[in-house]
Amino acid sequence: MNTAELPHTAELSVPQIAGRPRSNSIAPRQLTPADVLAQNRAWAAKMERERPGFFEEMAKGQSPEYLWIGCADSRVPPNVVLGLEPGELFVHRNIANCVYSTDLNVLGAIQYSVEVLKVKYILVVGHYGCGGVNAAMSDNDHGTLDNWLLPIKELYENKEPVLAGIKDDKHRAETMVEFNTLKSVESVCRTKSLQNAWKLGQEVKVIGWVYSLDSGTIKDLNVEVSSPADVYKVTSLLAPGVGIDAAYPTTRDSESTLRRPDGKIALVRNDAQERKDLSGPGELGAGAVETANAKGGKRKRSFSEAIQAFINLKF
């Protein structure tokens, strides 16, 4: 799916406050709460004048086709960048567009959007220049925020073999943003809400995108998951040593992902021809707790890695 498939809607502009013209500068306008409230009233009056009954219809209920899971960054307003109107997009945002099994907020948003609103698409959208991802890649102390960033830090360490080969700092950070978005796509797909919906035959696609602050456009990561059998496509991209350009890989020098007749996934490590079975369609099981290192030996996953893998299977 690409952005051209999204429905075109009229631009919803916000009237400017008299004496406070808009500017192309990134510096925020110095608006007081009273100014912002006045803008709201002006916008509401303009909408009602141009489209009588608009808010009366809005009050009757919502039936969006999209759930947006994105970053809380103020420069990425979902409805604005997609050109969608009120009522067309259900939104959940947090720092670095993360989906954790311990976060009841995001799990509740997913459940409500899938089970009640019956959305057709879940858009997991990261953005280049993400402060949360940059913080996770650094060794600086960020206080309480470091607890939230821990899974991203672990993903960063997991992808170190790939990222270390990228010499340009900006390119390396952008690649990490893409990996983090893919991780959230995988996590969404493993939620009970999605698994149950797919089991019942409900059509829901999970899509991974990344927004560019530099251009205002969205990059399609070429990842769409519409069934449990497709989750392994994302999981394979998150394996150590696999680059972001390997979307939907079939074979690799170091590792291949094969589907067995019984529906389970077999992970084949070509360097040692070592086969490890995974616990179910697209799900990482105990057989993956040990991974091959660069010398062909084995290392045990850290306790935190093993716990995170276990948590990811249980929500």
Q: In angstroms, how far is CA 133 from the centroid of its own chain?
A: 12
Q: Check if the beta carbon of residue 113 is closer than 8 Å to that of residue 68.
A: no
Q: What is the CA radius of gyration of the chain?
A: 22
- What's the CA gap between 309 and 47, in Å, rounded? 48
Tell me the helix, strand and coil percentages in the chain, rounded to 5: 40, 20, 45
Buried b (16+ CB within 10 A) or exposed e, 52-67: eebeeeeeeeeebebb
Q: Is 71 annotated as a binding residue?
A: yes
CA distances from 228 to 202, 235, 266, 314 (A): 12, 12, 15, 15
Helices (H), 87-223: 104-111, 131-136, 145-158, 160-163, 169-189, 192-199
Which candidate, 146, 69, 51, 160, places its Cα nearest to that of 111? 69
Q: Is 130 annotated as a binding residue?
A: yes
Q: Which residues pair with 23 in a beta bridge?
A: none
Q: Which residues are catalytic?
A: 71, 73, 75, 127, 130
Q: Check if the beta carbon of residue 210 is closer than 8 Å to that of residue 125.
A: yes
Helices (H), 168-302: 169-189, 192-199, 231-237
Annotation: binding site: 71, 73, 127, 130
Annotation: binding site for Zn(2+): 71, 73, 127, 130
